[in-house]
Amino acid sequence: MTLDELVGQKLVLGISEARVTPETIALFRKTHAGGLILFKRNFESAEGLRKLISDLETALGRRLLVMVDHEGGRVFHFREGATVFPDAQALGVSGRVDWARKQGEIEGEELRRLGVDLNLAPVLDVLSKAWNPAIGTRSYGKDPETVGLLGRARIEGMQSKGLSACAKHYPGLGEAELDPHTELPVIRKSLKVLKQTHLPPFLKAFEAKVDCVMSSHPVYSEVESDSRRPATFSRKIIHDLLRLELGFQGVALTDDLKMGAVSKTVSLREAAPLAAKAGHDLLLVCSDPKAQEEAFDSLVWAYKKKDLSSKELEESVERIERLKEKRKERFSEGTPLPARDGKELARQIARRGAEALCDGRGLLPLSPAWCLKHSVLAIFPDLSGVARERFVEPELLTPHDFLRRLFSQFGATLGKVEMIPTDPDEKERLRVKELARGEDLIFLFLWDAHAARGARELLKLLQNSLERLVVFLLREPSDFEWIEPKSACITAYGYRTCQIEAAVEKLFSAA
């Protein structure tokens, strides 16, 4: 390979279209990029996705490494061809290692039929704080042993079906108080604490021979002496600790270099060489063709100037090639459809994960007969804005029929269903208060009181003015911090339909 071709193998690019365009082909030819990362914006249908991958590879005349963030729960991009599993924290509540392995097997079968080589999952971050803006329900929970066992089992399941897995976000993002998508977190924990709490799940992943590890962007100020150097640029963390001390021999990749944690530190032109020098094999640049070309140009220039090691470049490309060689065919056999047993497993995980967190006035379990005799109002967030970036199940975009059918399954009637913004302003909050005034019982499906002040103020308003209120925590179970003891509160650790179904079942079955 030429230097340009070697450098290109280190780049993973995202594209903005669901079809191959001349501009996309030109970008991949110019940068010689070896990887493609997929998002919701690239998906119109299962067959359309397969065509996109095939058309791009045919135009380039070479094989790409195709990957996607397919964590389940809130991070899910394909609306066809794959089972919609609950968030990891729901599985963490159950602790069922066999379910984790089975989920991995199903994901392996489904994603390989769609043409995916690498799933950027599971998340092995250990939650150390009640609210973590970057991770939350993406984590299996607070116990390193549980996180490690579930993560290892899921990795084994995926890789047994020919799908590479990726443990993330090394060396652990559970302590972060800021979201690296937008800010630069600083984690002030010693290497000893990291080894005690945050690294054990990754060691379990190494036992499973996980193919890849993704690093995280925070500064680990007690490990890396430079207070502005995130782990992404730390040779001490990526090369010395990960490679030499912990013995990881697979492919190491960055998180997206376009994230705010990076852009608030250095330019992308500087970021790509710094990430390579730290010891990463693959560099993710998930958007912006101009930035993607800049990353390529800066890497080529750094290798030409001998700022970066040619020997390490060749070793990286060898690791990447070994990863690609694990799959001889682009698509595994079978029609790209959800696995037959996937939906039932998702329901089992969701049911086990549903919990009643408090019930100050003794409303739970609620009697369906009581609902038949009283006026009940459900308040549900308008998720159309969320759906622009993330996959939202169609039932939740117009939830009226979905919720009424769901309640009827338990012999209960649901009167009105009122949709409100995820961050309602004062006018909207007062409107909801007036609607609630004449009702006997209110169900508030709360989106995210930590991130949305309007949601927090609405919660406070309803708790102060209502006698009977049941709050369902959808996106953030840590919103329990804002729940008063007199309220009833239920969570299933996520907002997928199977989790909402499990939460409503909990409403009628047990306190």
Residues 240 and 93 in one domain: yes
How sure is the predictor about 389, in pLDDT bands with cuts at 50, 70 and 90? confident
> Does 332 fall in a domain?
no
Residues 305 and 363 in one domain: no
Q: What proportion of the chain, given as a percentage, has pLDDT over 90?
A: 92
pLDDT in tens, 85-120: 999 999 999 999 999 999 999 999 999 999 999 999
Which pLDDT belongs to residue 131?
Answer: 80
Query: What is the C-alpha to C-alpha distance for residues 193 and 199, in angstroms, rounded to an integer?
Result: 9
Q: What is the CATH number of the domain that holds 380?
A: 3.40.50.1700
| Catalytic residue of the set 55, 143, 181, 288 | 181
Answer yes or no: is pLDDT of 478 > 80. yes
Which pLDDT belongs to residue 202?
Answer: 98
pLDDT in tens, 62-87: 999 999 999 999 999 998 999 999 99
How sure is the predictor about 374, in pLDDT bands with cuts at 50, 70 and 90? very high
Q: Are 140 and 192 in contact (CB under 8 A)?
A: no
Residues 363 and 320 in one domain: no
Residues 172 and 319 in one domain: yes
DSSP 368-390: HHHHHHS-EEEEEE--TTGGGTS
Which pLDDT belongs to residue 128?
Answer: 87
477 prior amide bond cis, ω within 30: no
Last residue of a domain, one of 324, 340, 372: 324
Residues 103 and 167 in one domain: yes
Residue 161's Cα: distance from chain center in Å?
A: 21
> Does 358 fall in a domain?
yes
Which pLDDT belongs to residue 129?
Answer: 77
| Catalytic residue of the set 117, 211, 255, 479 | 255
Residues 169 and 213 in one domain: yes
> Does 378 fall in a domain?
yes
Q: Which domain range does residue 474 map to?
A: 354-509
Answer yes or no: is pLDDT of 246 > 80. yes
> Does 338 fall in a domain?
no
> Does 181 fall in a domain?
yes
Q: What is the DSSP letter of 288?
A: -
Q: Give the chain's domain count.
A: 2
Residues 27 and 126 in one domain: yes
Query: 255 an active-site residue?
Result: yes
Q: What's the CA angle centered on 509, arms 508 and 511, to 5 degrees?
A: 95
Residues 450 and 374 in one domain: yes
Last residue of a domain, one of 324, 345, 380: 324
Last residue of a domain, one of 280, 302, 324: 324
> Does 498 fall in a domain?
yes
The average pLDDT across 187-204 equals 95
List the one residue out of 225, 132, 230 whose CA is nearest residue 186: 230
> Does 336 fall in a domain?
no
Residues 305 and 361 in one domain: no
Residues 155 and 83 in one domain: yes
Query: What is the C-alpha to C-alpha distance for residues 352 and 336, in angstroms, rounded to an integer?
Result: 28
Answer yes or no: is pLDDT of 221 > 80. yes
Which pLDDT belongs to residue 511?
Answer: 52
> Does 347 fall in a domain?
no
pLDDT in tens, 327-352: 989 999 999 999 999 999 999 999 99
What is the pTM for the complete model shown?
0.96
Q: Are 111 and 360 in contact (CB under 8 A)?
A: no
Q: What is the CATH number of the domain that holds 177?
A: 3.20.20.300
Query: What is the C-alpha to C-alpha distance for residues 501 and 466, in angstroms, rounded to an integer?
Result: 25
Rounded to the nearest integer, the mean pLDDT of the chain is 95
Query: 181 an active-site residue?
Result: yes
Which pLDDT belongs to residue 432?
Answer: 95
Residues 204 and 278 in one domain: yes
How sure is the predictor about 225, in pLDDT bands with cuts at 50, 70 and 90? confident
How sure is the predictor about 355, in pLDDT bands with cuts at 50, 70 and 90? very high
